[in-house]
Amino acid sequence: MQTIFVKDYDEMSKKAFEVLKEVIEENKEPVLSLNTGGTPRGLFKYLVEGINNGLDISNATIFNLDEYVGPKNAVYTVRTYMYENLFNLIQNQPKQAYLIDGETANPDQEIERYKELLSQNKRDIQILGLGTNGHIGANEPGTPFDSTMFLAEHEESTVQSTMKEYGITREEAPTEMFTLGFSEILDAEKVLLLVSGAHKAEAVKAFLEGEITPDCPVTALRNHDNVIVIIDEAAASLL
Ligand code: GLP
């Protein structure tokens, strides 16, 4: 595992873009699994800039780490985020973008469909953020390390984070989410974890200094041999 300590959010975002850019440039047909939320907003900004300045993604296939259950165009969906932070802002589109349908009437079928696509497209990179309780994707504490894509229930702390991030009420906030399991996350060639902010400091400490246990989901990454973690000063403050 390579741990990179940076000063602040912007430096984390820039470094993350460098890693992602290299993966895009080094692979003929890059397969990228992206995450959303507060953490990667800066990375998306640099990615958009890069693409509009000639970074070629015309052979890239894009997946998402997770998707909230709710109306497709709701303010909080990963789909909405991907359009607002990427697809609507770039002149040249990726070859393929596979979005999870959070509005489906048949969750099991949607999971099977997405799993099939994942099995046909090994990811060159999986980007991750970190939940304050140590979750990755929506693999909340207690999720077995052999989980495959599933429909997850959020812990209350996760619902609260979603409300804050998207400025929505408890009633409006989604409580369930489709998520890649540990199996699909760890199946990526490279995993890039981004962490910024003092509210993540405890989770960072448990990740780097605690034992490897499903009680702290992110510790599963310590079993993967190609992980890059970028942590800013505030998130590293308890180390
Ligand atoms: C959320 C999402 C993840 C996200 C993580 C961190 O609940 N399920 O996709 O990476 O928690 O979110 P944020 O970056 O907004 O702190």
Specify the pTM: 0.97
pLDDT of residue 159: 93
pLDDT of residue 51: 98
CATH number at residue 175: 3.40.50.1360
Query: Is the beta carbon of 137 within 6 A of some atom in ligand 1?
Result: yes
Over residues 158-168, the pLDDT tens digits come to: 899 999 999 99
Range of the domain at 180: 13-125+144-189
pLDDT of residue 37: 95
Q: Average pLDDT in the 146-150 region? A: 98
The answer to whether position 24 is within a domain reads yes
Model ipTM value: 0.94
The answer to whether position 215 is within a domain reads no
List phi, psi (to 5°) of 4.
-115, 120
pLDDT of residue 212: 98
Whether the Cβ atoms of residue 130 and residue 99 lie closer than 8 Å to each other? no
Query: Is the beta carbon of 158 within 6 A of some atom in ligand 1?
Result: yes
Over residues 59-107, the pLDDT tens digits come to: 999 999 999 999 999 999 999 999 999 999 999 999 999 999 999 999 9
The answer to whether position 176 is within a domain reads yes
b/e map 28-49, b = 16+ CB within 10 Å: eebbbbbbbbebbebbbbbbbe
Running DSSP on this structure, what letter comes out for residue 66? E
The answer to whether position 228 is within a domain reads no
The answer to whether position 112 is within a domain reads yes
Of the residues 66, 155, 195, which should be mutated to test ligand 1's pocket, given the most ligand atoms within 8 Å of the CB? Answer: 66
Taking the CA of residue 154 as reference, the ligand 1 atom at the shortest distance is 7
Instruction: Work out how many domains the chain is built from and give that number.
Output: 1
Please identify which residue in the block is written with the tokens 């939940």.
Answer: 131
Confidence of residue 144 (pLDDT cuts 50, 70, 90): very high
Over residues 153-210, the pLDDT tens digits come to: 998 998 999 999 999 999 999 999 999 999 999 999 999 999 999 999 999 999 999 9
Confidence of residue 129 (pLDDT cuts 50, 70, 90): very high
From atom 4 of ligand 1, which residue's Cα is the shortest distance away?
A: 129
Which residues are tagged catalytic?
Answer: 66, 133, 135, 140
